[in-house]
A and B are shown apart, each in its own frame.
Chain A
Amino acid sequence: MQPDARFRFENFVVGSANRLAVAAARAVAESPGAAYNPLFIYSASGLGKTHLAGAIGNHARQLQPTLQVEYVTLDDFMEQLHAAISIGQTATFTQRYQHVDILLLDDVQFLTGRRETQTEMLRLFNALAGTGRQIVMTSDRPPNEIADVDERLVTRLAGGLIVDIGAPDYETRVAILRNKCDERGVALRPNVLEELAKTEYGNVRELQGALNRIIAQQQLGGPVRTDQVRVVLGEPAPAWRAPTPAKERGGEYMSFLSDVASVVAQNVEGWRMRLSEAVAYWNGEGYRTQVLERALHMPKAPDIEGLLGMYTAAVERLRALEQEVNAIDPALGASEVFRDPERVRDAEDVVRRAEAGEVPPPGPSSAFTRAGFEVSPSNQLAVKAADAVAADPGGKYNPLFVHGPSGVGKTHLANAIGNEIVEASGGAIGVSFVSAGEFIDELIAALQDGTLERWRARYRAAGALIIDDIQFMAGKERTQEELFHIFNALHGAGKQIVLTSDREPKDLDGLEERLRSRFEGGLVVGISSPDRALREKLYARYLSLVEPPPEDGLLEYLSDRPASSVREIIGTVNRLVAAADVAGVSLNVDLARKELEGVGSAPAPAPVNARAMDAFFLDDEKVVWDWPDVAGRAIEEWR
């Protein structure tokens, strides 16, 4: 809807109570989107909010006829939104408003409690503000007093300039009355208007109503005299009702403020405003904006359109690249280069390399460190071999094949080797760590997408390759074939390969002979179940984390018990801690014995969780508590 053409700046009477608002409105009309965005005008009813909003629209169109100006009351806005939702066309609705250059939104105080409208408006605001379009809002109260509105929306409403319009002072009232008389071609006796204006009407509409009565009286009974004004109006008009008259708030200060505002508006440079808005917007979107910030500090305006255009184009390009790379490897999409429009080339490079398969698969987990791996006779051979490999990757034992039962630390050790290699080479050697299961899944996915070449290339690009749980490849012929080629390529290039398995190569059924012989060609080392020394170390470590500290003797007791794996040890500690918690005592040998050997205690009955029960069963009257015994039941049936 277009604003009412009658609402113009020329017929808006400016007084001290609305000077600031008018100055701001003019600035907005003259450079929409640049000076104050959004502009928020509030005042009591009938003081000219709608007039000002309309004047902005009309004046702006007068200056730039191509501008698209839209005036809408919040009520209409909501109605349109609901209509759009009901036919499933919300996107069209938003789009329609996104192309508006100046959006004039009247009576936004009705936002209270309209969650849906608020959400939609927030979205629209972001879109409009991000593209430098102007929003003007009117309300009967300031943004922070509109109840039940999303905090984010409130901050946006208040983010530009908030101005209020006070009730008109005497001079303004006279000027308004004169204007109205001129508009209607009515002539009154001298001083009648002045007498009328002496009554301090709280708003312009009441003032106009009073004038209408005078005019009507004049048409009926001839010219009204000054002394008749009071009589015609009946009772003395209601006392001043403006919330706080400008005078009480320090008229000089307010007029100083409005002067400052207009000087600032005149002198703030539109291009810097646009730039700073763009900076804020793109920062919010997570993009780096140094290039814009540098321009912001230039002494003279650069080619803003060109600069912003280039920046936006770069962001678009980055988004496209990010999408491409996400399709290949989501981990790469998180890279910083996709957030910096100055590094489009780098981003392109990343994508190109990812497409060419030059980016190796992800590395080992940094959670598993060599320092955190406890050494004992049961695993010292494997650890020594691992250290040798880490010191000289691809040199000494290639491949290194680590086998042992589940839970003895093979994965930990393999990761630790990877981390050591990365660290020792200062990151120069890219170590890839993959479980056999993932390896198989990736291969299947690559076969499906027809990206087999890229997949192969990625593995060949690895500086070192660690494959966990190789036993899962047993019987998978295609996987073994691919691994065979990758193995040869890496091995031939002198790159380290580490494999782990739950059994020795010779016991791996369903493994092709050519792979087996290659696996055995390096060093095969085993890790056995934790021996007493290792158990003691591990128990000591995990028990040291327990609060309060456990009783002496517990460590001895536990270490003496056999454990098949590190995982079992961790599990035992957790179980004891839980039991001690339930019993409300600190960890001790008795408790451990009871818990682990079942000595001296029947299994505790499962606690009855009354709360979880259906409320029905909590009603004593409805529950049969004492079932009749067999004899009783027989008698019952016999009857």
Chain B
Amino acid sequence: MSLVNYATREITCKIVYYGPGRSGKTTNLHYIYGQVPEDRKGKMVSLATQTDRTLFFDFLPLDLGQISGFTTKFQLYTVPGQVYYQTTRKLVLQGADGVVFVGDSQARQLQENIESMQDLHANLAEQGIDARQIPLVIQYNKQDLPSDLILGVPDLEDALNFWGAPHFAADALHGHGVFETLRGISELVLRKLSAGAGAR
């Protein structure tokens, strides 16, 4: 899927929220959905299990309307974080224009974060994408938890962000950092508009 189609005047951005289970990906999308004005609200599709874990994936279409004469649409997806939904993750990742890695700041979740990040790299590589080339930002979620339970941003940076992607501290439940993250990834993705994007 190409990011921009000059002929039909459309910009379509697919952004995938990636990360370990229960790190708050769906919460991000819910918060964003809650902020969309009523008249612009599309339908958020969430296929969740009975215990509220994302079974398949969440899909939030954002119709931004006319921007610069382009019909601009964002598609926000989350992948199921649980290890055993590997196939779904690969499927959702296909054709992504940008990835938000939502990390869980809890100290005891560090290993899950690392594994999920490795999983992301592997899945991207499988699709022939170098993780350093695709627009990617990292969100350190749950920074609102008591400080003795979580790792600080510098520690997390050391553990996860070894190539210096933009990062955001967040408390997705209350919305802190959610839009900052979305803005960060959007900017990275949209910069690609000018880099010979029409040729794709």
Contact of B196 with A263 in the complex, beta carbons under 8 Å:
no
Which segment, of B16-24, B160-168, B182-190, faces chain A?
Answer: B182-190
Q: How many residues of B contact A (CB 8 A)?
A: 34
Contact of A297 with B69 in the complex, beta carbons under 8 Å:
no
The answer to whether residues A261 and B35 also contact, given A267-B191, A279-B7, A299-B199 and a CB cut-off of 8 A, is no
Partner of A273, one of B36, B37, B69: B69
Contact of A160 with B66 in the complex, beta carbons under 8 Å:
yes
Cβ contacts A243-267/B at 8 Å (1 or 0 each): 0000001101111110111011101
Residues of A with C-beta under 8 A to B34: 250
Q: How far is the CB of A296 from chain B (nearest CB, A)?
A: 5
Contact of A276 with B35 in the complex, beta carbons under 8 Å:
no
Q: Is the interface of A mostly helix, strand, loop or mixed?
A: helix
Asked if A535 CB lies within 8 Å of chain B CBs, one says no
Q: How large is the interface on A (under 10, 10 to 19, 20 to 34, 35 or more residues)?
A: 35 or more
Residues of B with C-beta under 8 A to A639: none
The answer to whether residues A256 and B193 also contact, given A37-B69, A299-B199 and a CB cut-off of 8 A, is no
Contact of A252 with B35 in the complex, beta carbons under 8 Å:
yes
Asked if B64 CB lies within 8 Å of chain A CBs, one says yes
The answer to whether residues A260 and B72 also contact, given A267-B190, A297-B198 and a CB cut-off of 8 A, is yes
Contact of A263 with B191 in the complex, beta carbons under 8 Å:
yes
Asked if A159 CB lies within 8 Å of chain B CBs, one says yes
Cβ contacts B1-20/A at 8 Å (1 or 0 each): 00010110101000000000
Asked if B194 CB lies within 8 Å of chain A CBs, one says yes
The answer to whether residues A265 and B37 also contact, given A259-B187, A260-B186, A299-B196 and a CB cut-off of 8 A, is no
Contact of A36 with B7 in the complex, beta carbons under 8 Å:
no
Asked if A622 CB lies within 8 Å of chain B CBs, one says no
Residues of B with C-beta under 8 A to A250: 34-37
Cβ contacts A137-163/B at 8 Å (1 or 0 each): 000000000000000000000111110
Cβ contacts B21-59/A at 8 Å (1 or 0 each): 000000000001011110010000000000000000000
Asked if A268 CB lies within 8 Å of chain B CBs, one says yes
Q: How far is the CB of B197 from chain A (nearest CB, A)?
A: 9
Most chain A beta-carbon neighbours within 10 Å: one of B7, B68, B196: B68
Contact of B68 with A268 in the complex, beta carbons under 8 Å:
yes
Asked if A186 CB lies within 8 Å of chain B CBs, one says no
| CB-CB nearest in chain B for A268 | B68
Partner of A296, one of B7, B32, B191: B7
Contact of A296 with B68 in the complex, beta carbons under 8 Å:
no
Contact of A256 with B182 in the complex, beta carbons under 8 Å:
yes
Asked if A351 CB lies within 8 Å of chain B CBs, one says no
Contact of B68 with A161 in the complex, beta carbons under 8 Å:
yes
Given pairs A35-B68, A256-B179, 5 additional interface contacts (CB within 8 A): A259-B183, A263-B186, A268-B68, A268-B70, A269-B193
A-B contact pairs, 20 of them (CB 8 A): A35-B68, A161-B68, A249-B37, A250-B36, A257-B67, A259-B186, A260-B186, A261-B67, A261-B68, A264-B70, A264-B72, A267-B190, A267-B192, A268-B4, A268-B193, A269-B194, A273-B6, A276-B7, A279-B7, A296-B198
